[in-house]
């Protein structure tokens, strides 16, 4: 299953996120994922593992497991490189050992102190608060993103963690419309208004943290996962599926792309077995009623400021 972006390119509806993935295990995990049928990888400069992903990609191309055109590769511009978009993109391409990206996203709608291309630091001021660069506008950053398309380095460009207001502004000043807005969304944080706004204006929504963060976010942010919700377990039992599979299928039936992250081979396979069933309308409504407006990914813990405030 694929979604056709407003750029005309097709994006697989299920991908593998590589955030917080251990460097030494990436190669085998990506090869395993491709063998299972994954064709979409979601990366970012800030994940600090692009070079390891690149080594895995080089191997799968060399062994003819897949061709470059068979894969959809996303990576992201970090906050500290907003004034160096072209250099940052080229740095990511070099690490990933690719000639072009299928999708390049503005990771967060904020420019921060530049610390060197590709270093992806989040410099804090003396007050312990993120050192935000107020001289670079998001419009300037976006026009530099558009240059990447004309240069042939990127096929589609998009945004990430943008709300309705910022997305609307991007639509107003863009010459090339954002193809994607990647946001946190799951049964406990459905963000229906933002999802509908994006889809109404031809922007595909990708759900990062589509399983509500699970163990990873519980460890980092002390949050609760929707995977333990009794109502979801009841729905999963009805379809003889796991809760994770039901949650991913729910995301797919909202016409959002889902990019679950896992380092476990058994979860990798489980997360891809979501094409052989469909949730009934009444079960979609059950899940819709579970919204808590509950964000699980909160970088304020590291930045000393809540950018979502």
Look up the domain containing 273 and give its range: 2-297
Pairwise CA distance, residues 238 & 258, whole Å? 22
Domain count, the chain: 1
**Is position 47 annotated as part of the catalytic site?**
yes
Greatest C-alpha distance within the chain? 54
- With contact defined as beta carbons under 8 Å apart, do 57 and 63 qualify? no
Q: Is residue 307 part of a domain?
A: no
Which pLDDT value is given to residue 212? 87
Which pLDDT value is given to residue 2? 97
Pairwise CA distance, residues 40 & 143, whole Å? 26
Q: Residue 192: exposed, middle, or buried by beta-carbon count in 10 A (0-12, 13-18, 19+)?
A: exposed
CATH number for the domain harbouring residue 77: 3.20.20.100
Answer whether 0.85 is exceeded by the pTM: yes
Structure tokens at 200: 């109404």
Q: Is residue 304 part of a domain?
A: no
Q: By C-alpha distance, which of 209, 211, 215 is closest to 245?
A: 211
Concatenated DSSP letters of the chain: -EEE-TTS-EEESB-EE-TT--HHHHHHHHHHHHHHT--EEE--GGGT-HHHHHHHHHHHHHTTSS-GGG-EEEEEE-GGGGGGHHHHHHHHHHHHT-S-EEEEEESSS--B---STT-----B-TTSSB-B-TTS-HHHHHHHHHHHHHTTSEEEEEEES--HHHHHHHHHH-SS--SEEEEE-BTTB--HHHHHHHHHTTPEEEEESTTTTHHHHHHHH-PPPGGG-HHHHHHHHHHT--HHHHHHHHHHHTT-EE--B-S-HHHHHHHH--SS----HHHHHHHHTT--------THHHHSS-TT-
Q: Is residue 73 part of a domain?
A: yes
Q: Is 208 annotated as a binding residue?
A: no
Which pLDDT value is given to residue 217? 57
Residue 185 phi, psi dihedral angles, 5° rounding: -155, 135
Q: Is residue 309 part of a domain?
A: no
Burial 7-16 (b: 16+ CB within 10 A, else e): beeebbbbbb
Which pLDDT value is given to residue 214? 65
Q: By C-alpha distance, which of 86, 144, 141 is closest to 109?
A: 141
Pairwise CA distance, residues 213 & 103, whole Å? 23
Q: Is residue 273 part of a domain?
A: yes
Q: Is residue 12 part of a domain?
A: yes
Which pLDDT value is given to residue 19? 86
Tens of each residue's pLDDT in the chain, 309 residues: 999 999 999 999 999 999 877 777 899 999 999 999 999 999 999 999 999 999 999 999 999 999 999 999 999 999 999 999 999 999 999 999 999 999 999 999 999 999 999 899 899 999 999 999 999 999 999 999 999 999 999 999 999 999 999 999 999 999 999 999 999 999 999 999 999 999 999 999 999 999 987 666 566 666 788 999 999 999 999 999 999 999 999 999 999 999 999 888 899 999 999 999 999 999 999 999 999 999 988 888 899 999 988
Given the residues 38, 47, 104, 162, select the one marked as catalytic: 47
Q: Is residue 252 part of a domain?
A: yes
Pairwise CA distance, residues 110 & 108, whole Å? 6
Q: Residue 123: exposed, middle, or buried by beta-carbon count in 10 A (0-12, 13-18, 19+)?
A: middle
Q: Is residue 278 part of a domain?
A: yes
């Amino acid at each position: 299953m694929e979604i056709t972006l407003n750029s005309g390119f097709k994006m697989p509806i299920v991908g593998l996120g590589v955030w917080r993935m251990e460097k030494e295990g990436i190669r085998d995990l990506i090869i395993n994922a491709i063998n299972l049928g994954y064709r979409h990888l979601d990366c970012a400069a800030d994940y600090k593992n692009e070079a390891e992903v690149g080594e895995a990609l080089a191997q799968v191309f060399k062994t003819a497991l897949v061709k470059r055109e068979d894969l959809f590769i996303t990576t992201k511009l970090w906050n500290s490189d907003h004034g160096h978009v072209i250099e940052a993109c080229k740095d990511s391409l070099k690490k990933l050992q690719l000639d072009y990206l299928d999708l390049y996203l503005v990771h967060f709608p904020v420019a921060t102190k530049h610390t060197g291309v590709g270093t992806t630091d989040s410099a804090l001021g003396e007050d312990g608060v993120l050192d935000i660069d107020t001289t670079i506008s998001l419009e300037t950053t976006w026009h530099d993103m558009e240059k990447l398309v004309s240069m042939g380095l990127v096929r589609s460009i998009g945004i990430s963690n943008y709300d309705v207001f910022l997305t609307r502004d991007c639509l107003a000043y863009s010459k090339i419309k954002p193809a994607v807005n990647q946001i946190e969304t799951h049964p406990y944080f459905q963000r229906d208004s933002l999802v509908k706004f994006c889809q109404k204006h031809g922007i595909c929504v990708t759900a990062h943290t589509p399983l509500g963060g699970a163990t990873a976010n519980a460890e980092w942010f002390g949050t609760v996962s929707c995977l333990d919700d009794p109502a979801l377990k009841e729905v999963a039992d009805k379809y003889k599926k796991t809760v994770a599979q039901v949650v991913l299928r729910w995301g797919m039936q909202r016409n959002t792309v889902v990019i679950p992250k896992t380092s476990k081979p058994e979860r990798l396979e489980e997360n891809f077995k979501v094409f052989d069933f469909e949730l009934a309308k009444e079960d979609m409504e059950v899940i819709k009623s579970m919204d808590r407006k509950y964000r699980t990914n909160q970088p304020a813990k590291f930045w000393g400021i809540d950018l979502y405030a």
